[in-house]
Amino acid sequence: MPLPDETPFEDRRHPGSDTSRLEPEPQIVCVDCGGRCFLLTHPPEDGRWEPGDVVAYRCEDCLDRWDLVLPDDEP
């Protein structure tokens, strides 16, 4: 489980391969209360997450919602 200062996305991209995927973590740590946030967003129809896609999480403790943008591979 990532800490609040870590990216909540598992980077499974492999440049030049057909198995290139970027996938959000199913669970992250709530920055406000330290509770567990679970992914609300369903995968795209084609099953491929892209940089710039917005994903939402909900904390089970404080009920805060977090909308996060999947990161781009360029700095």
Give 16-46 pLDDT, tens digit per residue. 444 457 899 999 999 999 999 999 999 999 9
Q: Across the strands, what pairs with 22?
A: 11
Share of the chain above pLDDT 70, in %: 69
Q: What is the pLDDT of residues 49-68, one digit of tens each?
A: 999 999 999 999 999 999 99
Of the pLDDT bands very low, low, confident and very high (cuts 50, 70, 90), residue 74 is: low
Residue 1, domain member (yes or no): no
Residue 49, domain member (yes or no): yes
Distance CA 51, CA 23 (A): 10
Residue 15, domain member (yes or no): no
Domain range for 35 is: 25-75
Residue 5, domain member (yes or no): no
Structural domains counted in the chain: 1
- 14 Rama class: left (phi>0) / alpha (psi -120 to 50) / beta: beta
Distance CA 24, CA 68 (A): 10
What pLDDT does residue 43 have?
A: 95
